[in-house]
Amino acid sequence: MRNRVYALAALMLSLMVASAEARDHDRKRDRDRDREVKIRCESVGEKYSYCPTKTQGNVEIVKQLSKTDCREYDTWGSTGGGSGVWVRNGCRADFVVREDRRWGRGRDRDRDRDRDGEVTRLRCASEDWSYQHCDVRGRVGEARVVKQISKTKCDRDDNWGIDRRGIWVDRGCAAEFEVQER
């Protein structure tokens, strides 16, 4: 009889431990899972519009709302690793930012630091107040204005910014930029 009680107690204990491990695994999976942030950004008429996402990650268009075609790097784009979305020339759309909550922790952060590297200087200018994209050979990590060329002040995320391919300028911004590649 005593052996049955011990066996039953051991069985109950192992079930409780297995259940707790499963809950911990589920919590860890949910915590580490990529999160999606949805945002609507609209350009009224031909105007430029910037919409902060309050997160970072990969930005994708999920639904175009305008009759005007929304083309990445032309009428829409993202800045600062997905921290914002810009639209122009009548593009209106719903976007999703897929936030990778694992990014920047532990070994991933060290691996990214090892990739950080070359700093490039380039000139990018908005001719006749129009949008211009200036490609960078590697993936852009960060950028800053090092020399203002135009009379129009270049304000980040207003009339200039970065995306995966390089620097974009608009509405009269012309400057020399320092770009750190990943």
Residues with Cβ within 8 Å of residue 130, at least 6 apart in sequence: 170
Let me know if 98 is exposed, middle or buried by CB neighbors in 10 A (0-12, 13-18, 19+). middle
Per-residue pLDDT tens digits for 57-107: 788 999 999 999 999 878 888 876 677 888 989 999 999 988 755 433 332
What's the pLDDT score for residue 77? 84
CA pair distance 157, 140, nearest whole angstrom? 15
Single pTM value for the model: 0.45
157 residue type, one letter: D
DSSP states along 16-68: HHHHHHHHHHHHHHHHHS-EEEEEEEE--TT--EEEE-SS-SEEEEEEE-SSS
